[in-house]
Amino acid sequence: MSEHFDLVVIGAGSGGLAAAKRAASYGARVAIVEGDRVGGTCVIRGCVPKKLMVYGSAVRHQLDDAASYGWSVGAVSHDSSDLLRRVRAEVDRLNQLHIGFLEKAGVELVRGWGRFADERTISVLSPQGEERRRLQAERILIAVGGRPHRPNIPGAELGWVSDDMFELERLPERVVVVGAGFIACEFAGILNGLGVQVTQLVRGDHLLRGFDLEAGRAVQEAMQADGIDIRLTHSPSAIEGSPGDLTVISQSGERFGCNGVLLATGRRPFLEGLNLEAAGVAREGHRIPVDAAQGTNVPHIYAVGDVTDRINLTPVAIDEGRALADTIWGHKPRQVDHNLVASAVFSQPELSGVGLTEEQAIERFGADGVKVHRARFRPMSQALPARDPKVLLKLVVESASSKVVGCHMVGEHAAEIIQMAAIAIGMGATKADFDRTMALHPTVAEEFVTMPN
């Protein structure tokens, strides 16, 4: 016999949790189906454990700089197994915390993998594929997120994906990182900071496609200066060997020996096993297309977050989930604005940006319709150690209106700083508005309001 709910959510990640709790707060009867731990990619195998490892790896730079400030540190060592254990313990704590939040909100957590039986019924399966329960719903939300994608090359199964990195018992001596995106760059920095010899294979001619090109190049220069061997225009054709003793063969025939390979080659929506056909839900390639109200082609079925493959960021998924609940059960219709979303790469150094890149602005307004203001300098934090990397700050301005249409930064605390800049740009601030703002000295961020015209 099927149980009836106002809302059944498939997937207890950021978007699904946000929608479920918000809908329940309006009085809806809600169930959320999850076959893995509660928290989704961000909490379990993404943003949170990754950022903890970034912090751990950054200690090396602090130790290197200590003598410049009069500290005598002496001999130090690092135990990667201890760091990984502590990271996993924190993830476990957050998993239990989110389970408690669901209980407090009055949302029923249903353990198992959700699969459409028909357009209003979700079959909940055990890991062995046996049906445990059937849930009927007035409305259904698909919030299953994405999964790492392995390249179609011989030996790809020998490599790790990003999920695997947090389950390692300890880090090896040499790792080849394949990819040029934010996951590849972040893990290359983490591994390098923790003493691993890193070679990064990049298919194209630059890192971080989609981010400001100049900012991406600044990150690349800093990574190379810090000892990461970045090989541009190098694609792997095969992986050979056995775990712990691998060789990556590039398409040009070059061989790279290592103890592990991280395949950071993108992510795709996790549609396997959903049986979308039973509900008549349309798919577009690897994603579920939705309208501005998160609706699929089936009127009572919705999708939020990475499964829609629009802007795959945790805060976006959360706002999409809450907007859906506010609209339907809160009777406060609203839609998420995807036009101005700040983003960051927790590489070393950090990269962040909001609005148009220089390249996007030129494409939209023409080369003569854009003026770029920039500052590049060694920050005060590196004055005594006398080392790079230099920071980069950029304002991209539409000439006709003098509006700042893009703001980008590479350097320490870039993500923290860009969050506040996003407010100003969202309100339509002009270059004159930035200039009128009194500088806070001595800071890196003051350069955003002191750049000459």
Asked if residue 40 and residue 111 are part of one domain, the reply reads yes
Q: What is the distance between the alpha carbons of residues 50 and 340, in angstroms, rounded to a whole number?
A: 25
Q: What is the distance between the alpha carbons of residues 410 and 394, in angstroms, rounded to a whole number?
A: 9
Question: How many domains is the chain built from?
Answer: 3
1 pLDDT above the threshold of 60: no
What would the mean pLDDT of 287-304 be, rounded to a whole number? 98
286: in domain: yes
2 pLDDT above the threshold of 80: no
Last residue of a domain, one of 265, 282, 312: 265
Asked if residue 360 and residue 278 are part of one domain, the reply reads no
pLDDT in tens, 40-52: 999 999 999 999 9
Asked if residue 124 and residue 12 are part of one domain, the reply reads yes
Give the per-residue pLDDT at 351.
Answer: 98
Q: What is the distance between the alpha carbons of residues 395 and 404, in angstroms, rounded to a whole number?
A: 7
Asked if residue 167 and residue 122 are part of one domain, the reply reads no
Strands (E), 276-379: 301-303, 343-345, 351-355, 370-377
Asked if residue 251 and residue 386 are part of one domain, the reply reads no
What would the mean pLDDT of 388-410 be, rounded to a whole number? 97
Last residue of a domain, one of 265, 288, 316: 265
Q: What percent of the chain has pLDDT over 70?
A: 100
438: in domain: yes
Asked if residue 74 and residue 135 are part of one domain, the reply reads yes
Asked if residue 217 and residue 94 are part of one domain, the reply reads no
Asked if residue 183 and residue 43 are part of one domain, the reply reads no
What would the mean pLDDT of 374-396 be, rounded to a whole number? 95
Active site residue 286: no
CB atoms < 10 A from the CB of 215, how many?
26
Give the per-residue pLDDT at 49.
Answer: 97
What would the mean pLDDT of 359-367 be, rounded to a whole number? 98
Q: What percent of the chain has pLDDT over 90?
A: 98
17 pLDDT above the threshold of 80: yes
Confidence of residue 425 (pLDDT cuts 50, 70, 90): very high
Give the per-residue pLDDT at 98.
Answer: 97
Q: What is the domain extent for residue 425?
A: 349-449
pLDDT in tens, 316-341: 999 999 999 999 999 999 999 999 99
266 pLDDT above the threshold of 60: yes
Last residue of a domain, one of 265, 295, 311: 265
Asked if residue 125 and residue 80 are part of one domain, the reply reads yes
CATH number of residue 173's parent domain: 3.50.50.60
- Mean pLDDT for the chain? 96
CATH number of residue 353's parent domain: 3.30.390.30
340: in domain: no
Whether the CB-CB separation of 202 and 234 falls below 8 Å is answered with yes
Asked if residue 111 and residue 11 are part of one domain, the reply reads yes
Q: What is the distance between the alpha carbons of residues 389 and 376, in angstroms, rounded to a whole number?
A: 10
pLDDT in tens, 402-414: 999 999 999 999 9
> Comparing C-alpha atoms, which of 80, 49, 36, 37 is closest to residue 260?
80
Confidence of residue 453 (pLDDT cuts 50, 70, 90): confident
92: in domain: yes
pLDDT in tens, 51-68: 999 999 999 999 999 999
Catalytic one of 234, 286, 338, 441: 441
Confidence of residue 137 (pLDDT cuts 50, 70, 90): very high
76: in domain: yes
Neighbour-count burial of 298, counting CB atoms closer than 10 A to its CB (0-12 exposed, 13-18 middle, 19+ buried): middle
Asked if residue 442 and residue 297 are part of one domain, the reply reads no
247: in domain: yes
Name the pairing type of β-strands 404-410 and 351-355.
antiparallel
pLDDT in tens, 178-237: 999 999 999 999 999 999 999 999 999 999 999 999 999 999 999 999 999 999 999 999
414: in domain: yes
155 contacts: CB under 8 Å, gap ≥ 6: 238, 239, 240, 241
Asked if residue 100 and residue 188 are part of one domain, the reply reads no
336: in domain: no
